[in-house]
Structure 1
Amino acid sequence: MSHTPAATTLLTGTPDQLRTAAAQAIDTARTGMAAFVARAGGLPAVEAVELYDEARAALDNAQHVSTLIRQAHPDPELRAAAEATEQLIVQAGTAFTLDPAVYAALAALDLSGVDDPTRHLVTRALRDMRLLGVDRDEETRERIRELHGRLVGLGQAFGRNIAADTREAALDPAALAGLPADYVAAHPPGPDGRVTVTTNYPDLVPFLTYATDSAARESLWRLNRRRGHPANVAVLDDLLAGRHELATLLGFGTWADYVTANKMIGSELAAAGFVADVSAMAADRADRDVATLLERKRVDDPAAGEIRPWDIGYLTDRVRSERFAFDSRTVRPFFEYERVKAGLMAVAGRMFGIEFRARPDVPVWHPDVETFDVYEDGALLGRIRLDMFPRADKFSHAAMYRIVTGKRGVRTPECVLLCNFPRPAAEPALMQPSDVVTFFHEFGHLLHHVFCGQVRWSVNSGMAIERDFIEAPSQLLEEWVRDPATLATFATHQDTGAPIDAETVARMRAAEEFGKGLDVRQQMFYAALSLELHGGPDVDAVAVERASAERHLPYRYVEDPTMHLSFGHLDGYSAFVYTYMWSLVIAKDLMTAFDPANLLDPARAARYRAAVLAPGASAPAADLVRDLLGREFTFDAYRRWLDA
């Protein structure tokens, strides 16, 4: 196999090149799908599926490139072109999914002699086509096509408004009290004597964690909450209304019920029940967490009667420092970015028998981007890129984006991590422990994409699996950050070179456990918000945010309800943000397949890779889990974790 050079060319090319390539991809897909419809009846099923798979792959890979450019490219003209090409590609894909002739050709295939991945591909494709409305009349299908195109544009606008809205607080230098020395050095006073702190993660998270000035924390917290306001008010209203119309056209009462129909969980009712059950499961622990935080707040302010959300990061860090003898500032020198990056790659190499070879010769869209080829036993498995530091108009959170979907003997998979970590400069780039967890999490997605690049069918790639399973492999890899033996392989002090000791890791892990009840309730607020915003027509988003917060957050809600306007997951995840906790339940169970005394054991890692990662979406997620565990997944491991 070889790389797809067109992807690199487009990522570093011009708007015209991108538009031309998108048009060519659409034409290739249309030609291929027409050949599938015309010839499927006279071909063996596997040969017919090859035509279908390649037609879909032409569109999918073109869309991956456009999506990435839209989210990460520094050139505004190219981002605008990518937004337009992405819409055209999605429209072409929707047209295939709504084409009765394509559906009939798939349905007529004789699957009696095919393998299970091929049968699953066809069965899943037919189900998804019905869910999109292929069996509706032409007038309805035309309206569905219109709605899909409109919804893609609205989703893009929603995310773009968030990415473009980095806010700044001009503060007195005294507001940096409590921040680490490297943070203070990176924020010198300007000509007006004020320091500028932004809502970018490398600024925001340490400030909310360490700044002793409560009023300054509140100021920055409120600024961050208002990102996307007011630009996203009308955008979200239109997005929710369009989704509801599409769902009702397809026979569903709500978008939430529609969008969960092809997930593991199956329905809006089941998702709402899961959210309520998990929130109740965590209630007592969350209340204890809040009581502990309030007790600590009263050390500084004896008259304090409640905690506020801008207190939580700071007070949690103080409790972890004082009760568990763990101060996250003291371990940051063990987590210098370059060492963490090299260490994570070494851990993956040790577990899975792979190596990462730097490719500085490969053109990139920004000087920050690094490229690596992934090899196993001398054979090329895939190519990864790392775009890890914040900049204007770039995706502002952390995620893995596909570039090329792999296919055995045809295409090598490619992907990129878009993150926002501290940038190495004159001073070392020291990461928060939570940053390291995020790095491992996103690397879990990356490994999933690379390892499933040998599947028989491109449309059975890992990210095509049920969306409420996708986070499980990445959440699983977070466990290695909590393992002393793993951390000892790369977490060395920037000044002394000494590796982090097991006692420190044990304190870090014990401290991390504090607050998990509160964290779970916070996640259930997000999950409920996403479900309930999509729960019917004419939703009052402000009222939904307030009600969801009051039901799940164990502290008083802050009026000024604009958080939903900066909630980027409402685009990609829409109503199923519950997936993060659902996947965590599965990830905790998957962890039982590993030896806690030797998490780096290559034999167990190989078994996990073969059963769960390598198949991609060649089988239902529940089947993959069963293949690894030898049983259905349960809540037992999750309950033990929550109750510990």
Structure 2
Amino acid sequence: MSEPLVPDAARHVTCPPEEFRRASEEALAKARDGIARLKTLPASTPPKEVLELFDESSAALDDAAARASVVRHTHPEAALREAAEASEQAIENLANDIRMDRGVYDVLARVDLSQQDAATRKWMEKVLRDFRRAGVDRDDATRAKVKALQEELVRIGQEFSRNISQDTRKVSLPPSALDGLPEDYVRAHAPGEDGQVRISTDYPDLVPFLTYARDGKAREELWRANRQRGYPANVNVLQSLVQKRHELATLLGYPHWAAYATEDKMVRTADAAGTFIRKIADASEERMKRDYAVLLERKRKDDPNADKVNPWDSGYLDDRVKAEQYAFDSQTVRPYFEYTRVKQGVLDLTARLFGVTYRPVKDVPVWHPDVEAYDVYEGTTLKGRFFLDMHPRADKYKHAAQFTLTSGKSGRRLPEGALICNFPKPGTEPALMQHGDVETFFHEFGHLLHHIFGGHTKWAGLSGVRTEWDFVEAPSQMLEEWARDVTCLQTFAKHYQTGEALPAELVERMLAADEFGKGLFVRQQMFYAALSLELYRRDPTNLDATALVRELQGQYIPFPYLEGTYFHLTFGHLDGYSSNYYTYMWSLVIAKDLFTVFQTKGLLNPEPAQAYRRAVLEPGGSDDAARLVNHFLGRDYDFRAYEAWLNKAA
């Protein structure tokens, strides 16, 4: 009888720097040894033995890289973050060496897959394709150039990310600048010895201030500080990132990086991505214009001579329109969204839907006292473990994301992941969240469920969210819908002082108000998508990224570009997603279609949730995303549900 699998990722991310380096070196050695043995296998070696050796060698590298990424983005100790960054570089260099090793490719290419199952054939189809995309079939000189470029890109990407995470800025303002902010926010920002209050560009400070502060000059000052992060440090870094990716793509025979980066996605080509962006932008244009006109009209109530809406006005005016025209003040729901209740609500709802139990783990080491650990059980069977690192601190990742710690594999390893977020922290003041924060929590938890449920595949190379990249967001976007349903919200949204459930009529007004601004939101997303795509499909020789932002902002959104601002230098997706930010809206089209099943059968009904888990989440990357969706819907996905969402009246 085999020993039960035990999660053990925590010890790899909480150890001293020397031990961390040693563990990374052991992973590198395991991978090198496995690959060396793979290349010596005789042609008569059974396929399973060949594939198992390759899968385990790759998994050793992938999991070591994943843990290094968590440490680099979250660990409070600079020495450990630096060790993780160095480890990431070494791991990626070896991974590139393997992808360009013709001996490895030849061994895998000769494996007879005729008797293997469909998932194995799909996996090897992806593996061999990725070898070719890495340049394995090119001459020695080309492979050497590719290798050097790939190694340099890892370093540049790390620098771009580091310059963002380490650049938190603060503005000093008079206490009167807090007029309009919630009481808990005001109390948490007491004046210093100089009588000024200090507001940072971290999300829990930034978003409420831009939403509620009545002082337009103060909003502008904070907004500009946020839009100057990454400057000037990332000016040359981003330019290098774009240039080196273009050089790599053309070396491999592609016209530009965007052509290379879209080839293995559902969209398949950069031109198709561009067509999709224009289609969504055109569909939302009239609604955007109406939204903007309403904001300008509202601004003229305060300033009769106003001829435009500035970007630092938009969040405030949007909130005022919702309060005055839709009878919804977003501050009224904050007392119902206290962080600990929201967290428990997300856990309880998803446990009920997907038939699992979450058990807190108290004796596991964590990388910061804020971090919590949970084991996921189905009955008595342990399915995986996750960590919640949910509150902001210095030198930590500034946004919200799910990070892998271990990619699971049936019979070998349990999946482990972490949510890295920046929500208000419980303390002397109640940690009251915006409704948008609640949606973000559900969204990231959707990624986590995909990772855990999809982490029991036959091969680690198919584990978790290893689907096409432009599908990855769909499961997480769909789970946001539970944060918009009155029945679901009332299971956990209780007033932090009175315990009263969030009133249904308040939810109805909130949802009605949420319809306002949808045109602006979609066009803003298409601006980001167009910037991402154009930055990587234009000739970088004389490309001015700031000028491109100015050009595209004028095409896609009505807010004027302001000189001396550098949004793109803190747009971390320009590294991770490169040309493919379109994927968020592409996935949303699919997510809206997936959700139609739950709209019909009920959001609290475990039956469709279990069917969805089996058809879409558990297969991981074992099949094409379009086929997984077809298995759940019983048909191919289409645009109808998305169009209904986009055109729903405000």
Same fold at TM > 0.5: yes
Q: Shift in Å at residue 250 of structure 1?
A: 0.5
Residue 325 of structure 1, CA deviation: 1.1
Following TM superposition, by how much is the alpha carbon of 1:48 offset from its aligned partner in structure 2, in angstroms? Answer: 1.8
Q: Which residue number corresponds to residue 76 of structure 1? A: 78
Residue 154 (structure 1) aligns with: 156
User: What is aligned with 2:644?
Assistant: 640
Report the Cα distance in structure 1 between the residues aligned to 2:482 and 2:27, rounded to whole angstroms.
40
How many angstroms apart in 2 are the aligned matches of 1:159 and 1:512? 32
How many residue pairs are counted as aligned between the two chains?
A: 643
Q: Which residue of 1 aligns with 2:616?
A: 612
- Residue 216 of structure 1: aligned partner: 218
Q: Which amino acid aligns with 1:457?
A: W
Pairing of 1:472-551 with structure 2 (within 5 A): 472-535=474-537, 536-538=539-541, 539-551=543-555
Q: Does 1:3 find its partner at 2:25?
A: no
Per the TM alignment, residue 45 of structure 1 is displaced from its structure 2 partner at its CA by: 2.1
Q: State the shift of 1:381 in Å.
A: 0.6
Of residues 24, 35, 38 in structure 1, which corresponds to 2:40? 38
Match of 2:178 in 1: 176
Which of 627, 635, 640 in structure 2 is aligned with 1:623?
627
Instruction: Indicate the SS of the match to 2:41.
Output: helix
Structure-1 separation of matches of 2:624 and 2:40:
30
CA distance in 1, matches of 2:126, 2:622: 10
| 2:256 maps to 1:247 | no
**Rounded Cα–Cα distance in structure 1 between residues aligned with 2:331 and 2:88:** 43
Quick check: 2:7–2:385 contact (8 Å CA) kept in 1? no
1-side partners of 2:621 and 2:156: how far apart? 28
The match for 1:579 among 569, 578, 583 is: 583
* Secondary structure in structure 2 of the residue aligned to 1:266: coil
- For the residues of structure 2 that align with 1:10 and 1:123, how far apart are their CA atoms? 32
Please give the secondary structure, in 2, of the residue aligned with 1:430: coil
1:592 to 2:596 alignment:
yes
Give the aligned partner of residue 386 of structure 2.
Answer: 384
TM-superposed deviation, 1:598 = 2.0
Is contact 1:293–1:319 with CA below 8 Å preserved after alignment? yes
Q: Conserved in 2, the CA contact under 8 Å of 1:546 and 1:561?
A: no
Q: What's the secondary structure of 1:454's corresponding residue?
A: coil
Q: 2:425 aligns with which of 417, 423, 426?
A: 423
Do 1:407 and 1:454's aligned partners in 2 also have CA atoms closer than 8 Å? Answer: yes
- C-alpha separation between the residues in 1 aligned to 2:36 and 2:122? 22
Shift of 1:455: 0.7
Find 1:333's aligned residue among 321, 332, 335. Answer: 335
Same amino acid, percent of matched pairs? 54
What's the CA shift string for 1:555-606, capped at 9, x where partnerless?
A: 3222224111111111111110111111101101111121356201100000
Looking at structure 1, the residues matched to 619 and 273 of structure 2 have their Cα atoms a distance apart, in angstroms, of 26
After TM superposition, the structure 1 stretch with the greater mean CA deviation from structure 2, 18-27 or 55-64, is 18-27
Show structure 1 runs of 4+ deviating over 3 A: none
Quote the residue 2:574 is aligned against: 570
- Distance in structure 2 (CA, Å) of the matches to 1:157 and 1:556: 30
Question: C-alpha deviations, 1:1-33, integer Å up to 9, x for none?
Answer: 42342x222211111111111111111111112
Q: Where does residue 167 of structure 1 map in the other structure?
A: 169
1:463 deviation in Å? 2.5
Contact 1:40 1:48 in 2 (8 A): no
CA RMSD of the aligned region, Å? 1.0
Q: What is the CA–CA distance in structure 1 between the aligned matches of 2:300 and 2:362, rounded to whole Å? A: 53
| Counterpart check, 1:405 vs 2:423 | no
Residue 358 of structure 1 corresponds to which residue in structure 2?
360
1:525-563 Cα offsets, whole Å, 9 max, x none, are 111111111122222111111111111112322222411
- 2:268 corresponds, among 266, 269, 272, to 266
1:291-310 matched pairs, under 5 angstroms: 291-310=293-312
State how far apart, in whole Å, the 2-side matches of 1:161 and 1:153 are.
12
CA deviation string 1:122-159 (max 9, x = no partner): 00111111111111011111111111111011101001
Query: Which residue pairs with 1:290 in the alignment?
Result: 292
In the aligned structure 2, how far is the partner of 1:596 from the partner of 1:346?
A: 22
**CA deviation profile, 1:283-315 (whole Å, cap 9, x unmatched):** 000000001111111111111111111111111
Q: Which residue of 1 aligns with 2:606?
A: 602
Q: Distance in 1 between matches of 2:601 and 2:97?
A: 52
Normalising by structure 1, report the TM-score: 0.99
Matches within 5 A, 1:189-228: 189-228=191-230
CA shift, 1:105, in A, is 1.3
SS in 1 for 2:599: coil
1:155 counterpart SS class:
helix
Mark the runs of 5 or more structure 2 residues left unpaired by the alignment.
Answer: none
**Which letter maps to 2:37?**
A
Q: Distance in 1 between matches of 2:46 and 2:592?
A: 42
- Which digits, 9 at most, give the CA deviation of each residue in 1:435-480, with x for residues without a partner? 0000000000000000011111101023321111111100000000
Look up the match of 2:259.
Answer: 257
**Equivalent pair of 1:40/1:105 in contact (CA under 8 Å):** no
Check conservation: 1:550, 1:557, Cα contact below 8 A: yes
Work out the CA distance in 2 between the residues paired with 1:78 and 1:466: 32
Give the equivalent residue in structure 2 for 1:112.
114
Q: Is contact 2:164–2:570 with CA below 8 Å preserved after alignment? A: yes
> Matches of 1:526 and 1:127 in 2, distance apart?
29
Describe the superposition over 1:393-412 as per-residue Cα deviations: whole angstroms up to 9, x where unpaired: 10000000000000111101
Distance in 2 between the 1:557 and 1:234 partners?
A: 21
Does the CA-based 8 Å contact 2:74-2:397 persist in structure 1?
Answer: yes
Distance in 2, matches of 1:597 and 1:35, equals 52
| CA distance in 1 between partners of 2:10 and 2:520 (Å) | 43
Letter in 1 for 2:285: A
Query: What amino acid is aligned across from residue 175 of structure 2 in structure 1?
Result: P
Read off the aligned partner of 1:642 and give its amino acid letter. L
The one-letter code sitting in structure 1 at the alignment partner of 2:513 is A
Which residue is equivalent to 2:326? 324
Matched residue SS, 1:400: strand
- Partner of residue 142, structure 1: 144
In structure 2, the residue corresponding to 1:462 is in which secondary structure?
A: coil
Contact 2:456 2:618 in 1 (8 A): yes
What's 1:369 paired with?
Answer: 371
Offset at residue 40 of structure 1 (A): 6.4
- The farther-off stretch of 26-35 and 323-332 is 26-35
Amino acid at match of 1:3: V
Counterpart residue number, 2:350: 348
State the distance in 2 between where 1:454 and 1:9 align: 22
Question: For residues 565 and 370 of structure 2, what CA distance do their matches in structure 1 show?
Answer: 36
Distance 1:257 1:540 in 2: 20
Conservation of the 8 A alpha-carbon contact between 1:147 and 1:246: yes
Match of 1:558 among 540, 562, 580: 562
